[in-house]
């Protein structure tokens, strides 16, 4: 059913510049497209942009009423633009979105903000935190050593007794959990070893989500159009949505792995057991954020810093203070803590963050608190988590999903990119790879 509202959403998604050149939806359905891209996150947008540039007839179908997926800049809730999803441009030396951002006049810069640790209300001197820095480096070395040996085991098993017994272990473990979204026992040491970091992390002032939205503005896409099924045959495929079915010659499936693993998007005939299993092997761990707005600055420095409270458990969060010189602070939780806080609700997540900040910075934190909000990525039906990790023993799943299926279906998404998995630029790179594969399949 192509409703007036549906059309309005379609036009909003396209932006005025495209509206002049677009095909009426009905005509397109009759003739079929060269390519349907499912999902307007980083991967889907990169794939679609590349295919459109190559002259193919492309349509992006997006379940949400916005584009960007896990890249989402919120400009409303606390009065300052902040990223509910990704915010760092990792691996700046190999991250194509750095150039994309600069070309679009977005401000990108290296994250050189200071990091500080508090022991209760006492700010630790650099020398006191040095053992934590050394322990984090040792953990990386131990996991890398297991990876070097090709050990596809839980990262936990790569860690020495001395490392686990270190008094700073809980703090160092929290930082690792933030990277993978799950604790050491849940992800493959080999998979982490195959991630390649290249260059320092950058930040983007206007927001990573805002950049993705801008990139998608001129692409042919339909919002609020979830695809429930892909029916594929030798000669092409048909995708089913609540608004009807569309014929296409090829499909780029750029949705998070759990969407396929959990049957929110099904294939007919079904995917091979191997391909379906690979989606199960790349579940999404969790990171959530809280944005806290204060009536006045409650922070120790005028400039932005990252603060953490020393704890002996893994219930600590990391706080970015004075976001873009405002009185807004962004707190980040990951893994089991993030799961627990998301389950307990927004108020509980905010309270946990205010509690930690109060222990570090004093009662002024609660006194001057204005308002806050929290993300809930695990219960978001279109993401079902934050970013993928590889289940121990299942290394190879990412590569498997990087190959076309049945000559018609190509998977994209951060989970399909080995060297930059879990990241927005990894998703982007996977989209470019998928576009190349589709062109080869279609001989274009």
Ligand X SMILES: Cc1cc2nc3c(=O)[nH]c(=O)nc-3n(C[C@H](O)[C@H](O)[C@H](O)COP(=O)(O)OP(=O)(O)OC[C@H]3O[C@@H](n4cnc5c(N)ncnc54)[C@H](O)[C@@H]3O)c2cc1C
Binding residues for ligand X, rule: CB under 6 A, are 38-44, 61-64, 69-71, 85-88, 90, 226-227, 254-256, 259, 264-265, 287, 289, 375, 377, 382-383, 386-387, 413-414, 422-425, 427
Please say which residue, 82 or 294, places its beta carbon nearer to ligand X: 82
Radius of gyration of the chain (CA): 22
Contacts of residue 137, defined as CB under 8 A and 6 or more positions apart, other chains included, come to: none
Peptide bond into 269 cis (omega under 30): yes
C-alpha 421/C-alpha 335 separation (Å) is: 17
- With residue 165 as reference, give the H or E element that holds it: helix 161-165
CB 414 → ligand X: shortest distance, Å?
4
Exposed/middle/buried for 187, CB within 10 Å: 0-12, 13-18, 19+?
A: buried
> Measured at CB, which residue is nearest to ligand X?
41
- Residue 189 CA to chain centroid, in angstroms? 20
Cα–Cα distance measured from residue 120 to residue 310, given in angstroms and rounded to the nearest whole number: 7
Minimum distance between the CB of residue 128 and ligand X, rounded to whole angstroms?
28
Closest separation between CB of residue 135 and ligand X, Å? 23
Minimum CB separation of residue 61 from ligand X in Å reads 5
Nearer to ligand X, 365 or 420 (CB): 420
Structure tokens at 224: 């609020």
CB distance 422 to 428 below 8 Å = no
Sign of CA dihedral 160, 162, 165, 167: negative
Question: Based on CB atoms, which residue is closest to ligand X, 206 or 358?
Answer: 206
When the beta carbons of 43 and 317 are compared against ligand X, the nearer one is 43
Backbone angles phi, psi at 438, to 5 degrees: -65, -40
Q: Output 354 or 427, the one with its CB closest to ligand X.
A: 427
Vertex 349 angle, CA 344 and 352, to 5°: 115
Q: How far is the CB of 285 from ligand X (least distance, A)?
A: 10
C-beta of 430: minimal distance to ligand X in Å?
Answer: 7
Q: Which is nearer to ligand X, 39 or 331 (CB)?
A: 39
């Amino acid at each position: 059913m192509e409703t007036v509202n549906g059309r309005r959403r379609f036009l909003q998604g396209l932006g005025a510049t495209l509206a002049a050149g677009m095909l009426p939806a009905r005509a397109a359905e009759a003739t079929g497209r060269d390519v349907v891209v499912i999902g307007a996150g980083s991967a889907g947008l990169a794939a679609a942009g590349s295919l459109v540039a190559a002259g193919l007839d492309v349509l992006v179908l997006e379940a949400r009423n916005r584009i960007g997926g896990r890249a989402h800049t919120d400009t409303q809730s606390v009065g300052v633009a902040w990223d509910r999803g990704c915010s760092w441009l990792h691996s700046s030396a190999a991250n194509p979105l750095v150039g994309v951002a600069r070309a679009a006049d977005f401000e990108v810069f290296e994250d050189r903000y200071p990091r500080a640790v508090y022991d209760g209300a006492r700010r630790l001197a650099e020398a006191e935190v040095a053992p934590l820095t050394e322990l984090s480096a040792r953990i990386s070395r131990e996991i890398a050593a297991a990876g070097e040996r090709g050990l596809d085991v839980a990262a936990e098993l790569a860690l020495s007794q001395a490392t686990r017994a270190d008094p700073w272990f809980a703090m160092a473990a929290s930082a690792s959990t933030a990277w993978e979204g799950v604790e050491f026992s849940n992800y493959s040491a080999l998979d982490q070893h195959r991630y390649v970091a290249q260059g320092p992390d950058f930040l983007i002032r206007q927001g990573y989500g805002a950049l993705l939205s801008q990139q998608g503005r001129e692409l042919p896409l339909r919002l609020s159009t979830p695809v429930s099924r892909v029916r594929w045959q030798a000669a092409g495929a048909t995708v089913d949505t609540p608004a009807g079915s569309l014929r296409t010659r090829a499909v780029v499936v750029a949705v998070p792995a759990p969407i396929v693993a959990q049957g929110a998007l099904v294939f007919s005939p079904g995917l091979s057991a191997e391909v379906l299993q690979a989606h199960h092997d790349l579940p999404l761990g969790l990171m959530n954020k809280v944005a806290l707005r204060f009536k006045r600055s409650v922070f120790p420095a005028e400039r932005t810093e990252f603060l953490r409270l020393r704890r002996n458990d893994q219930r600590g969060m990391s706080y970015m203070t004075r976001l873009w010189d405002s009185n807004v602070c962004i707190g980040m939780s990951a893994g089991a803590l993030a799961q627990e806080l998301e389950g307990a609700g927004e108020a509980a997540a905010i309270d946990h963050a205010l509690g930690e900040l109060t222990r570090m910075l004093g009662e002024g934190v609660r006194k001057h608190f204005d308002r806050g909000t929290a993300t809930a990525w695990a219960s978001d039906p279109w993401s079902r988590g934050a970013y993928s990790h590889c289940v121990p023993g299942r290394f190879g799943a990412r590569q498997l999903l990087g190959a076309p299926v049945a000559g018609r279906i190509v998977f994209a998404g951060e989970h399909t990119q080995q060297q930059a998995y879990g990241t927005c630029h990894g998703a982007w790179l996977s989209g470019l790879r998928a576009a190349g594969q589709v062109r080869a399949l279609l001989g274009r």
